[in-house]
Chains A and B, each alone.
Chain A
């Protein structure tokens, strides 16, 4: 929720979910039936195609008339998440679940998993390879940037298994 700080709970896989807002946690773990589902394949290391899925998600939100500020937040969060899959994983899938009041984005990759999520969440920390750095990525801002632009985020991973990242963005602009 707006203004909530990352709460490192006892379960290391939960991030940025306000303890008071258990709703978000259960929403992410057991999403209700969405109004609209979209899914995309993401190829590992294919930087030429990287960003196609997030562009399509953005276009869909635009066609639904989502507030411009929210739209740009969603666009950057989706893009960072998609690039993460391209740069670090063996490929994976992106799902966009659209509800009346929010979008839930879920990324499931085929591994190899994140060794230390705490570290990956630190701005500036990166395990990006040479190719990714040459392409201008690997600044270590991926996950922190997603966190900054979403309202609730969940990540679970360990070395040797796959990574699941999910985040929620509400459509109502935060009251200023």
Chain B
């Protein structure tokens, strides 16, 4: 059809395990899933890798494809960049420092934390907000699932997105250059792996949006790393390697903290989490009803990154641990000026993000209108229960599928049943 490279999705469906239950169909925020012939089908152009379907699948037919620790063998020197939510996974008797030290025992040569640059990232974002006074509100781009949601469902808001690399990508850029210089290793011999809490973060590594060059070599699930770390925890007793931790920056793993940290006397912020709440807010922003805000944090997972499906710990417990770590930490920052100057030089700029619009019924306006007419007629025929048994998420979605020639009126069992009864009576 088109010769574009296939879009990478970490969310993967195994047809064999799917029993066609339609749970995933009903929770998908972009209506990307249909059940046809008793099997779910995910439409790649609509999927934003938010992971909602994974959590409701009763047969584990939907999983997250991610890289593995085995992939470290491909490189001479491996760096782990860890998401802040990693810190919340380990109980207090292990602690954050040990959890970091363990990474050196499972194949990594160096470790960097997202938390290192939390404060300078906030500084950069504040500057971005101030030098773009005409764009309001500016929307956070830190959650890859919500960025993709905007591309698919709210393309009119793409210009409102913060067009700066994410903290993990900023670190990847910084470290690759640093390792090349200090260790005299060729760039292609360095493996940079993100240790991530969610499906969308994996997708962001393999299908980055807006980035100018290749930044990461893989994304490994926090859960996989956790297992390996626990296997090796005894060996750590003798290790006295000094670990510099930036625990004060861990807060961004929690919903609301990004907005709180960026807020200033002249910057009014708002934080929203949970994909369906995010959709509501984006709809309001689209109708210019939230122009009074300067910056809005948008997170797919209910508690923020600690709520991602690649974590092991309960999100509330993880949140509690991170809160107490942040509280008892000393303020420690890496070279803030250095990063700020790089930002000012445009080193972290990204390309304008492109829409992935799937909303229109037809590319041709006249055809779209005639399909919309058909949709209205069909909706009137349907029971309006939104039960999903037909395999489409709502009656309206089924009507659209029929109008597009992708389903039939007979797919509605309720309607057929009622008609039969009527014929009898």
Instruction: Give me the interface of A with B, judged by CB distance under 8 Å.
Output: 35-36, 51, 54-55, 58, 60, 62-65, 68-69, 71-72, 75-76, 79, 98, 100, 171
Contacts and interface: CB of A to CB of B under 8 A. Distances in A.
Nearest to A145: B288
Size band of the interface chain B makes with A: 20 to 34
A68 B153 CA distance: 11
Contact of B156 (A36, A72, A79): A72
30 contacts: A36-B373, A54-B287, A55-B283, A58-B286, A58-B287, A60-B372, A63-B359, A63-B360, A63-B361, A63-B372, A64-B361, A64-B365, A64-B369, A64-B372, A65-B361, A65-B362, A65-B363, A68-B155, A68-B156, A71-B286, A72-B156, A72-B286, A72-B288, A75-B286, A76-B287, A76-B289, A79-B289, A100-B365, A100-B369, A171-B365
B425 to A, nearest CB: 32
A65 B365 contact: yes
Contact of B369 (A36, A51, A55, A71): A36
Interface in B309-364: 359-363
Contacts of B283: 55, 58
B72 to A, nearest CB: 43
A71 B285 CA distance: 12
Nearest to A74: B287
Contacts of A75: 286-288
A160 B122 CA distance: 56
Nearest to A149: B288
- Which secondary structure dominates where chain A touches chain B? helix
List the 8 shortest-distance A-B pairs measured between CB atoms, nearest first.
Answer: A68-B156, A65-B360, A75-B287, A76-B288, A64-B368, A62-B359, A35-B369, A79-B287
Which residue, A55, A64, A98, has most C-beta atoms of chain B within 10 A?
A64
B368 A63 contact: yes
B376 interface: yes
A64 B360 contact: yes
Given A64-B361, A65-B362, A76-B288, A98 B156 contact: no
Contacts of A76: 287-289
B287 A35 contact: no
